[in-house]
Amino acid sequence: MNSRPKMSRFDQMRAMASSMFKQRRKPNPALAISPADSDLNGKTVAFTGGTDGMGRVAVELLHKMGATVILLGRNEAKGQALIDELGSNVRFVHCDLVSLESVRSAASKVLADYPEIHVLVNNAGVNLGDRQETPEGFEAHWVINYLGSYLLTNLLLDRLQASAPARIVNVSSATEALGHINFDNLQLERNFSTGKAYSQAKLALNMFTIHLSRQLEGSGVTVNALNPGFIKSNLLRDLKGKERVGSILMLLFASPALVGADRIVRLAVSSAYEGVSGQFVFEDAARLPNPEALDDTIVERLMEVSRAQAGLEG
């Protein structure tokens, strides 16, 4: 068992609520990325969820710093519009996280065309209004918010290690505090709710982050999870019924996309995070995640399940 002190579930929920109503209007100038860290010429960044909102702003920042950006997404029209805006050193690769086969195809294309990958940002996510199944039979929130990123990361991992120093940023959520890994109902065939599905998937992403950080010790590759804050986006547009209150709260209290984008980029490139791995960065500082993410028995069991689901066994 992990011996680090754990926050109670109540403390986790209180912290999440406090964060929601105390959002920044601008990035924290005291944490600004230094000019030295802002030179990304010669660096390659693979980025999911980079054609809308916070992700798009983060891609714009990375490109402005000189990085070559690989946009991994499902909407080619949006990807092309961003390429037209930014110009050179941006490429769109079709990667629909709802399909593990699409993830495998995208990873193959990236590996064939890019000899180095210095940063992987798993930013794509979704909140659907009802339970949907993927072509491979998984609950959609599980695949899009977790399992697809799990597979993509594993498929690109050797290239990241060969490109070290390299970083992986898994964009999580404060709602992971509400998550629970129910191995008897992992696909939520019973008692489904959008909130339950989303928080479970984000908790799983945090668990994967901790597990992978141990696997990568000494490799020169770091991996951290990030709650970017309560950020204005289209993430809640499909919610229904009482869960739509989240959309209203977002309209009233959420930070602009630039605040979240700045946090993503900072974790991806700032020397302040050099050598830092396995952390849950909650907006601007590391914080303990959901206690389940610190339970080695649960984490190891989830990794076994994930390997099997992603077809990585053996």
Write the pLDDT tens digit of every residue in 5-26.
Answer: 455 555 554 555 555 556 666 8
Q: What's the pLDDT at 129?
A: 80
Strands 166-171 and 119-122: parallel
- CA distances (Å), origin 41, targets 36, 44, 64, 114, 243: 11, 9, 10, 15, 43
**pLDDT above 70 covers what percent of the chain?**
84
Residue 210 tokens, joined:
């901790």
Taking only the tens place, the pLDDT of each residue in 213-258 is 999 999 999 999 999 988 866 554 554 555 444 554 555 456 788 9
The least confident of 86-90, 96-100, 126-130 is 126-130
Q: For 162, which DSSP code?
A: H
Q: At what angle do helices 296-310 and 148-162 cross, to 10 degrees?
A: 90
Sort 295 into a burial class: Cβ within 10 Å, 0-12 / 13-18 / 19+: middle
How high is the mean pLDDT of the chain? 89
The least confident of 6-15, 173-182, 191-200, 257-266 is 6-15
Separation CA 88–CA 159 (nearest Å): 23
Characterise 218 by phi-psi region: left (phi > 0), alpha (psi -120 to 50), beta (else). Answer: left
CB-based burial, 203-238: b 16+ in 10 Å, e otherwise: bbbbbbbbbbbeebeeeebbbbbbbbbbbbbebbee
The CATH homologous superfamily to which domain 9-307 belongs is: NAD(P)-binding Rossmann-like Domain (3.40.50.720)
* pLDDT of 197 above 90: yes
Separation CA 236–CA 204 (nearest Å): 20
Residue 23 tokens, joined:
């959002």
Q: For 243, which DSSP code?
A: G
Q: CA quadruple 247, 251, 253, 256: dihedral positive or negative? A: positive
Q: What's the pLDDT at 22?
A: 60
Helix or strand (DSSP H, E) at 300: helix 296-310
194 vs 213, more confident: 213
Separation CA 175–CA 227 (nearest Å): 9
- Entry pTM: 0.89
Separation CA 186–CA 206 (nearest Å): 16
**Residue 299, SS3 per DSSP:** helix
Give me the mean pLDDT over the 63-72 stretch: 98
Taking only the tens place, the pLDDT of each residue in 113-157 is 999 999 999 999 988 888 999 999 999 999 999 999 999 999 999
CA 312 to chain centre: 20
Catalytic residues: 198
Q: What's the pLDDT at 239?
A: 45
How sure is the predictor about 281, in pLDDT bands with cuts at 50, 70 and 90?
very high
* pLDDT of 62 above 50: yes
Separation CA 259–CA 204 (nearest Å): 25
